[in-house]
Structure 1
């Protein structure tokens, strides 16, 4: 992937601060150094991962601090767009050199052509080899971007960056919108990285297994963990176990210090009452009695202050321990009305051909609470099939029939009205539900109290997904067929876990179009369908074998 030995390549920031135009602070004095090797960057939705990459790439400028790059930096943003009329050679940035080479080969020996070529006489061979390494060997340099799928466009942009021979390569969620086959090519490219700095923001577990170390962005600070995703998870789990033990100890200490303070206050008050009573009985001189009273008060005050300080310190230790506990609350919701009897016909496809996509004459029957994974290449028509099932798209021929209440959660999450609150969005799809019922259910989706009244347009990415999921799953009538289109795109890994636990509560039939194999396996998929010109029954093992053979080829 990168054959340059750049031992000094690095990218760093020092005292970096950044805030959005509305005053929202993202970083306040962040310092970070990323050295050679494969580095992953993870963190919750809204933690600032993409913003940090844009700052390091010079696409954004901080309000304070500095960014330093040693070597040539290349950056692949999350949303890659290229004009459809652009030729592949132009997208790769080699059109000028190719034209100069053709002119020289035709006998035009003007100096400007040699200057344009420089030392890059094998630019075409390198370009084709790079395209081939990413699974784009059939893409000619003279084709246009409009002839490529969305996933191929992402890989084309990555190929252009690799041709620059960067010392520092920043990738932001590169597997989004890549089909399983394209993802495998990207994994291979990451495996092949040998020198320089690679920093990749991703929620793709298989991709993160391939990095040498992981940086976690949390609370505006970065913590480093050695190894890939599994090693990171093990370390975090051990840290959480320790943090929870420390929190229990700190809470017990707070309770003990409170008891001791209360006991001290009772003892001091009792001692003062007894001293006053003895002074009255002995009729001690007023000056002596006053001195004894002051001494007792000073002693009592010192003792009380000592215990108050101990209680304050115990509370600080408890708060520090609580801060170390991650917010891993899970969605726990009961959805009994979504249940589908085992023999119930849920949907049928009869000689179905899609208006958009490759499927021609597909047949399918789904019965009961089956959990189906729909996989296939980019452009095969997965989204088109789902939208055909909803009735939004008419089939080119044949029939698609759904026999139970259906709900569809699209990639765009456009089931939400940004001008309405989370609770109002649910009420819109469940008009018969009371406000109390909606709010109690939303609390199980982690929208508790005032959070249920927050406008959908102000939610972070993970919150927005949870709100859309809640509106979809709590809709009336209760969905007995739930269809999800690439649900893990742009979700952090904590949100993916929450989605998985929510789906555990769902009792109906499930149809998920996704390229995320680990997620599909965790969702309890019972049936795998490969979409192409036909709709073929397959399995997770066969899909993995197909990917391996594709990568080997």
Structure 2
């Protein structure tokens, strides 16, 4: 007798529809099945990646349709909040089992302790091994969450999910707020995923290289691509070349159908003139003349109808071809006033000790248009250092001095006044600059015409980023030093490319705190500084070597 078929490990949505509170539809009848293996879910900001994950996790209810998970499901949201008073063992969900084990070891054989443990007698060893694998080997189970950094709490929550041994694991932007070393630990966890379904929403290219397939969410539907990020980009490039050829052919067809429709109008007009002339010369009876006129009109109507239908069909084909083109417009802006002479002193730090972080004796001299990356572990104090340099925090000791106009783009993009329009936000940062000049520059940041009048509070994530970047780069006086804190956090790939292209036009000095190595290398970093008790010079290769040592360890 055959064994009964077990439900396959997968997560499925059938006829899934979801509307925003204002009634705007996001998904309309979406159906897909995600099977075993590692799937990277990608798409531009605002396409609904996080919302789809929340629907799959049961955190949101669909307007219509259903979601089914084959097996147990665990979900890591993008913004994690843990009670800071919890102990690590409580956050891991193993406090009760540890207490039961301790009671049994002390001689208490109450049945409730055995019921609490079940078959999980090695829970403490598993918890320790899971924490170690994520680089939390120095975190004691009795320690409180409040003593951990933001990146460590992300890894702690992931450890709690892995301990559940879920059949389906959903991760939403898991590398946000993780330092380079913690990211490597996360990569290892993804590499070691061998069973069940793993779905990860991410903009981290190195993480996406590790998946088995890419699911691209666009216009409420999903397209599948085999392999990791590089395979996806290669397939997409080929697809886009074909789509662009189809669009050119469709454009040519629309023009041809327009010409043929115009020619048909001319033919009909000629026939009507000829018919009137013949009727006048022959002086046909009214009944016969009327019948001929109706026949001619019907023939002309059919001819026009055929060509109008053909033009309509050609336009539909053109729209379909245009929809297949990915619109990843790049920012192209000229910023010559930001140029800094090579020998000019831009920034100095002398014996600086910020209020928080590990830095005790910071020394730094920045000259000319240098591009400096601040890298280091979570908690080292990169953000605190930038806030000290910008005057938001007073140092405990030492001093920091800037000698050129500067601007700071923080992680939260809170440089914008949400009550003002995009153009008004830029004008606020650039007093005295001509309105027409601001609008012409905003067009190069992809805010053309009425888009520049949108209120900042109504912008999507990608639009908000571009508006904040425009307000920073177009400020007056022109910034000859721009400081950025984790600028690629929460950005989709198109926005990262837009940021990179904008920085290609920037001629001043850059100071970027970041964990995204591919991005930092793409913007031409000239000096790498490791933030610890000192600011020590390093290189991209040395950073990668340290990361490889972390993986090997």
TM-score interval, smaller chain:
over 0.9
Shift of 1:290: 3.3
Q: Which residue of 1 aligns with 2:317?
A: 317
Shift of 1:118: 1.1
Counterpart contact for 1:7–1:36, Cα < 8 Å: no
Q: Which residue of 1 aligns with 2:161?
A: 161
Q: Which residue of 1 aligns with 2:374?
A: 374
Q: Which residue of 2 aligns with 1:170?
A: 170
- Whether 2:517 is the aligned partner of 1:532: answer no
Q: For each residue in 1:400-424, what CA deviation from the matched residue of structure 2 results, as whole angstroms up to 9, or x when unmatched?
A: 1111001000011110111111111
Q: Which residue of 2 aligns with 1:354?
A: 354
Shift of 1:533: 0.8
Shift of 1:285: 4.1
Counterpart contact for 2:529–2:536, Cα < 8 Å: yes
- Whether 2:433 is the aligned partner of 1:433: answer yes
Q: For each residue in 1:41-75, what CA deviation from the matched residue of structure 2 results, as whole angstroms up to 9, or x when unmatched?
A: 11111111111111111111112111101111011
Shift of 1:110: 0.8
Secondary structure at 1:511 match in 2: strand
Counterpart contact for 2:11–2:67, Cα < 8 Å: yes
Tell me the distance in 2 between the aligned counterparts of 1:473 and 1:224: 37
Shift of 1:336: 1.0
Q: Which residue of 1 aligns with 2:413?
A: 413
Shift of 1:292: 3.0
Counterpart contact for 2:347–2:400, Cα < 8 Å: yes
Shift of 1:368: 0.9
Q: Which moved more, 1:177-186 or 1:135-144?
A: 135-144
Tell me the distance in 2 between the aligned counterparts of 1:284 and 1:19: 66
TM-score (norm 1): 0.97
Tell me the distance in 2 between the aligned counterparts of 1:479 and 1:400: 17
Q: Which moved more, 1:191-200 or 1:451-460?
A: 451-460
Counterpart contact for 2:429–2:475, Cα < 8 Å: yes
Tell me the distance in 2 between the aligned counterparts of 1:485 and 1:294: 76
Pairing 1:151-230 to 2, within 5 Å after superposition: 151-230=151-230
Counterpart contact for 1:87–1:142, Cα < 8 Å: yes
Q: For each residue in 1:404-451, what CA deviation from the matched residue of structure 2 results, as whole angstroms up to 9, or x when unmatched?
A: 001000011110111111111111111212222222111111111111
Q: Which residue of 2 aligns with 1:42?
A: 42
- Whether 2:394 is the aligned partner of 1:394: answer yes
Structure 2: stretches of 5+ with no match in the other structure: 1-5
Counterpart contact for 2:7–2:70, Cα < 8 Å: no
Moved over 6 A (4+): none
Pairing 1:105-144 to 2, within 5 Å after superposition: 105-144=105-144
Q: Which residue of 2 aligns with 1:3?
A: none
Tell me the distance in 2 between the aligned counterparts of 1:163 and 1:261: 68
Q: Which residue of 2 aligns with 1:338?
A: 338
Tell me the distance in 1 between the aligned counterparts of 2:286 and 2:425: 75
- Whether 2:23 is the aligned partner of 1:23: answer yes
Tell me the distance in 2 between the aligned counterparts of 1:45 and 1:350: 41
Q: Which residue of 1 aligns with 2:404?
A: 404
Aligned length: 548
Pairing 1:63-78 to 2, within 5 Å after superposition: 63-78=63-78
Tell me the distance in 1 between the aligned counterparts of 2:326 and 2:57: 30
Q: Which moved more, 1:43-52 or 1:298-307?
A: 298-307
Shift of 1:24: 2.9
Shift of 1:87: 0.7
TM-score (norm 2): 0.97
Counterpart contact for 1:7–1:195, Cα < 8 Å: no
Q: Which residue of 1 aligns with 2:145?
A: 145
Tell me the distance in 2 between the aligned counterparts of 1:417 and 1:287: 76
Q: Which residue of 2 aligns with 1:255?
A: 255
- Whether 2:301 is the aligned partner of 1:304: answer no
Q: Which residue of 1 aligns with 2:546?
A: 546
Tell me the distance in 1 between the aligned counterparts of 2:312 and 2:124: 70
Tell me the distance in 2 between the aligned counterparts of 1:271 and 1:57: 68
Structure 1: stretches of 5+ with no match in the other structure: 1-5
Tell me the distance in 2 between the aligned counterparts of 1:41 and 1:95: 34
Calculate the aligned-residue CA RMSD, in Å: 1.3
Shift of 1:339: 0.8
Tell me the distance in 2 between the aligned counterparts of 1:143 and 1:523: 40
Shift of 1:211: 0.3
Shift of 1:310: 0.9
Shift of 1:12: 0.9
Q: Which residue of 1 aligns with 2:501?
A: 501
Q: Label 1:476 to 1:69 Cα distance change in 2 as closer, same or farther (>3 A).
A: same
Counterpart contact for 2:18–2:28, Cα < 8 Å: yes
Secondary structure at 1:348 match in 2: strand
Q: For each residue in 1:80-138, what CA deviation from the matched residue of structure 2 results, as whole angstroms up to 9, or x when unmatched?
A: 11122211111111101111111111111111111111111111111100000101111
